[in-house]
């Protein structure tokens, strides 16, 4: 059976980009593949975190993933720091990736330009992400477009390790959605929608109320020529709305454009479709939030399942490297 692995950071609130770029496919994939999904709290440590907030947001994110539709009976849902093999293989991956490769990561350049404190971990982050993926003999990694370069690096380090030390890791492949791989900021449609966006008005949060979603989409930046057409370079704002509408209604952006001649109806329909798609998730989240103990129990079961797979892969890698086993 195909093995799927993906992760999401417990920083900020889940937004529409996360949902359309990744989470909806996680829900689909769990039924067709042997899937593992991880709340990557160690990745969050690349920037300083408030301890109380980190613990809460890790739990909230797990509840959000359950609300979106992950079924812990079907897939494995766990928290990265509860499976210590991630940190251990990450060191091995840091020694397998080159300084040049890590220096070419565009996300490091973007984030380090903005950060006041640039940790060593922010630089070596893609090695930890490679470890996450390789620990589970992963075939496919469903992600948004912004993670493309990181998954490429995971492939490169897996191939390098295999050729130096013998067959050890499965070489993974990223997968992207047909619509929604790169959801853009509604106020600045040339930047991706993100948790750390300058303007909250440009980001639709999964838990935004219907009225807030409607307002944000109504005020989305478009352009002056009043023509509805999917053309990312010439019409980034309109194209972003078409991607969103397509993604939430299961169509390509071009298909979603059919029948529209004005921006008003396009915005109204996009808002209505997003509200309709998110409403059941929001309702389920409210139920789950009332019972944090149950979520923690489910995460414990997930961590135990993940550890079984991860420890076998790590043992294989250590053996091939020539690390002396404990007697």
State which of positions 239-268 bind ligand TYM (CB under 6 A). Answer: none
Which of 40, 241, 299, 306 is close enough to bind ligand TYM by CB under 6 A? 40
Query: What distance in Å separates the CA atoms of residue 203 and residue 166, rounded to the nearest whole number?
Result: 46
Count the Cβ atoms, other than its own, within 10 Å of residue 199: 11
Q: 183 or 266: whose CB is closer to ligand TYM?
A: 183
Query: What distance in Å separates the CA atoms of residue 118 and residue 113, rounded to the nearest whole number?
Result: 9
Catalytic residue list contains 215 = no
Which of 3, 17, 253, 267 is close enough to bind ligand TYM by CB under 6 A? 17
Quote the strand ranges of 115-190, DSSP E. 140-142, 173-175
Q: 181 or 257: whose CB is closer to ligand TYM?
A: 181
User: Under a CB-based contact definition with an 8 Å cutoff, are residues 202 and 187 in contact?
Assistant: yes
State which of positions 165-224 bind ligand TYM (CB under 6 A). Answer: 181-183, 192-194
User: Under a CB-based contact definition with an 8 Å cutoff, are residues 227 and 263 in contact?
Assistant: no
22 binds ligand TYM (CB under 6 A): yes
Which of 72, 144, 246, 302 is close enough to bind ligand TYM by CB under 6 A? 144
Quote the strand ranges of the chain, DSSP E. 3-8, 34-39, 76-79, 140-142, 173-175
7 binds ligand TYM (CB under 6 A): yes
Q: 155 or 182: whose CB is closer to ligand TYM?
A: 182
CB of 146 to ligand TYM, least distance (A): 5
Task: Label residue 160 exposed, middle or buried (CB < 10 Å: 0-12, 13-18, 19+).
Answer: middle
By CB under 6 A, name the binding residues for ligand TYM: 5-9, 17-18, 21-22, 40, 43, 129, 132-133, 141, 143-144, 146-147, 150, 181-183, 192-194
């Amino acid at each position: 059976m195909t093995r799927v692995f993906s992760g999401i950071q417990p920083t900020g609130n889940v937004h529409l980009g996360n949902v359309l770029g990744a989470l909806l496919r996680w829900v689909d994939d769990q039924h067709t593949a042997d899937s593992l999904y991880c709340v990557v709290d160690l990745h969050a440590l690349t920037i300083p975190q408030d301890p109380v907030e980190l613990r809460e947001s890790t739990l909230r994110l797990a509840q959000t993933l359950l609300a979106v539709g992950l079924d812990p009976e079907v897939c494995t849902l766990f928290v990265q720091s509860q499976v210590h093999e991630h940190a251990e293989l990450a060191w091995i991956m840091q020694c397998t990736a080159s300084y040049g490769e890590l220096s070419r990561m565009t996300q490091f350049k973007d984030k380090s330009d903005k950060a006041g404190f640039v940790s060593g971990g922010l630089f070596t982050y893609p090695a930890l992400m490679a470890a996450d993926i390789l620990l589970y003999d992963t075939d496919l990694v469903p992600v948004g477009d912004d993670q493309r370069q990181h998954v490429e690096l995971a492939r490169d380090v897996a191939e390098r390790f295999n050729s130096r030390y013998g067959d050890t890791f499965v070489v993974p492949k990223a997968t992207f959605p047909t619509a929604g791989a790169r959801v853009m900021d509604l106020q600045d449609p040339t930047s991706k929608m993100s948790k750390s966006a300058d303007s909250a008005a440009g980001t639709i949060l999964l838990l935004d109320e219907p009225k807030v979603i409607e307002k944000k989409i109504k005020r989305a930046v478009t352009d002056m020529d009043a023509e509805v057409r999917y053309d990312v370079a010439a019409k980034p704002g309109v194209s972003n709305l078409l991607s969103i509408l397509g993604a939430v209604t299961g169509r390509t952006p071009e298909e979603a454009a059919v029948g529209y001649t004005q921006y008003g109806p396009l915005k109204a329909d996009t808002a209505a479709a997003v509200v309709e798609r998110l409403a059941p998730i929001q309702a389920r989240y409210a139920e789950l939030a009332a019972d944090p103990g149950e979520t923690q129990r489910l995460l414990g079961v997930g961590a135990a399942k993940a550890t079984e797979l991860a420890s076998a892969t790590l043992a294989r890698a250590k053996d091939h490297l020539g690390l002396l086993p404990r007697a």
